[in-house]
Each structure stands twice: as C-alpha cells, then as structure tokens.
Amino acid sequence: MAGKDIDRTRARSALETIREQPVITAIALVPVLAVLGVVWAVAGFFWALLLLLVVGGVVVWKGKLLG
C-alpha cells in the first residue's frame, strides 16, 4: 500500500506549515479539544483519556482520521 504512505516531502511541508502558521493548527485542534472537554466534564478524566488513546490509536493504525 505505497499510496497510503506519507512521503518525506509532504511530511516536511506539513511541519513547515505548522511552524509558519500556528493559528491553522490551533483551528484544526479546537474541535478535538472541545469533544475531549465535553467528555471530561460529563464522564470524567478516565473516559476522556481513554477516548484520546483510542482515537490516537486508530489514527496511527489507519494512518488517517475517520475516512
């Protein structure tokens, strides 16, 4: 599945975008932080941490987020 691998050029471009435009990164992370905050407020820290670990594991395993 070579088509799903992230090549060095794209990874470097993504890191440069994060360094040059931190506002874009912050805007992209706001929904994630909002969901974690709501889960933390409703169910507690343990469930928010568990959700973060599960979603992080899926992202690493699949290589992309929900799609």
Going by pLDDT thresholds of 50, 70 and 90, the confidence category of residue 50 is: very high
Mean local confidence (pLDDT), 34-63:
90
Token pair for residue 60?
A: 């690493």
Task: Give the predicted TM-score (pTM) of the model.
Answer: 0.61
**Radius of gyration (C-alpha) of the chain in whole angstroms:** 15
Going by pLDDT thresholds of 50, 70 and 90, the confidence category of residue 53 is: very high
Amino acid identity at 46: F
Going by pLDDT thresholds of 50, 70 and 90, the confidence category of residue 39 is: very high
In whole angstroms, what is the distance from residue 48 CA to residue 34 CA? 11
